[in-house]
Structure 1
Amino acid sequence: LSECDLYVSNYDDDADMKSVKENFDRQTSQRFDEYNERMIDKRQKCKDQRDKDIQKIILKDKMEKSLAEKVEKSCLMCACGLGGGVAPVWGLVSGLWYAARKNYVGGVAAKAATKAGIAKAIEGLGDIFGLEVLTAIDWQKMIHAGNYSNKMSLIRIVGTIYNMCEKGQAPGDSLYCTASNGYSITSRDTVFITAISQKAAGVAVGAGEAARLAEAKEAANFLPKTIMLSNNIVASIVAIVVIVLVMLIIYLILRYRRKKKMK
């Protein structure tokens, strides 16, 4: 049959033609139904796959976002901890340690100065008319940390010792007690006391100078250690500041990248 013959009215009542048309319509409808079923199945599979892919993308994005936020928070907390906690505390501890060491050095130097000053004062007074050999009077104990460099205090000490000699409280024929005999009787006391007072004043000056030298020397012994300690403190603080800055820079970079990705 040609295509044109299908529509000729002569075949409308033909049983074979009707059967052919019905078979054609049935097969066509069946194929369309099968095609629709396959398409529905494919669409469902595509939809399921698409939903899975979307869920994977969302989950991956959440994980990346969570990881980025955790890294940002860690960097920020680390920077805040170092900058707001460790650095001030370390600075405070270092400052207290430095101050304590400085006080310790000052105390050691002061003790050395006092010891040297007292020794110099005893040595100087002992040279005044042989006072060092006068053992009947324990005059060395009269010199202490509060008077070794004081002129009037040392003058009073040598004057007190002379008065004890005059009163016979210094037994023995010591040079110091008999030195005044070399002066005239009329001016003996005045001249001798003036002489020993001048010498005692000079001893006080020498003792003070000896104390200053001893203090400077003792402090100089600690100077390299103090400088090293100061340098270590400064280096530690600088290192902490650098770490804080690096953490803040990392935090800002991660935050910028995350916001840019979200946009």
Structure 2
Amino acid sequence: MNIYYINVLLFSITLNILVPNLWNHKVTTKPHRDLCECELYTPPNYDNDPQMKEIMKNFNKQTDQRLKEYDERVIQNRKKCKEQCDKEIQQIILKDKIEKQLKDKLCTLQTDIDTDAIPACVCEKSVADKTEKFCLNCGKHMGAIAPWWGLVCDAGYSGWTHYTATTLVELATESGIKKGIEVGLANVAKIVKQMSGTIPVKIPKIKVAQVMTAGQFTDDVTFSGIVQALDGPTFAELGTGQHAQYSLCVQNIAKTFTLKTLKTEAAEVVTAFKEAEAGVLADGTATTSILHATIIASVVAIVVIVLVMLIIYLILRYLRKKKMKKKLQYIKLLKE
């Protein structure tokens, strides 16, 4: 019994020892580094590593490619520089050769040739060439436009002259009628005063436009026409007011009017009409003459400008041909 008891006690102690190991898990991560792991980064292991070999291979490949591109650019730039230097050297040699040939054969040319006659670039245009071209273009345009302008202006001027003449005659006639009516009204007032004698008469203020509306004055005016207009229905209201005596006298004049009795008054109206008409016609004729002279002066100025430009063009053309002839001599000499 004692033996069994001892065995039981021993077994319980063993179980107590195993219980903590079941609850404590094993930690595999080590907080330190072993010496054996450092051997991985030694030079033999570092160079033989596959990943490092791949990285070094890519690096060497990219470096070789960049160096190759750099060498190609250097070669290309050197080639360009060499070509440029060769061209400059050839130009210098050609220039020296031309200078020597010119010095050798200059005596065979004319002695009055100046430095301006040396052949220049075609694209370089002188002021003379530009002026010549401008004068030529201007002369062509003016020569083409001037006939049409003259034709149009001639037709327009003819129409304008006809219109002006018609309008001028109408204005002159209207002005003469107005002046004749003014003189006629003054003569009527004078006759009315003579007929009234000692009886006081109040002369009404009659406007010329009213008389022109009441009468038929188209081409001329007469004293009898003025009297008939005053005796018409337009001035009927004068017979009922303070101008009744004036209206009565006008009616008597209209009934007893003859050229023999009132010859002087009738002649004054006709004279005033003709003088006013002649004055307006004279003023209009003077204005038309001034405009006509202005148009003629402008045409003459345009013709003179065209002729001057053509003369300048011909002179510049002659000088340019002379200069080109000298240049051709130089070109021929250089080709030889």
TM-score, normalised with respect to structure 1: 0.49
Larger RCO (CA under 8 A, 6+ residues apart): 1
TM-score, normalised with respect to structure 2: 0.41
Query: Which structure's CA Rg is the greater one?
Result: 2
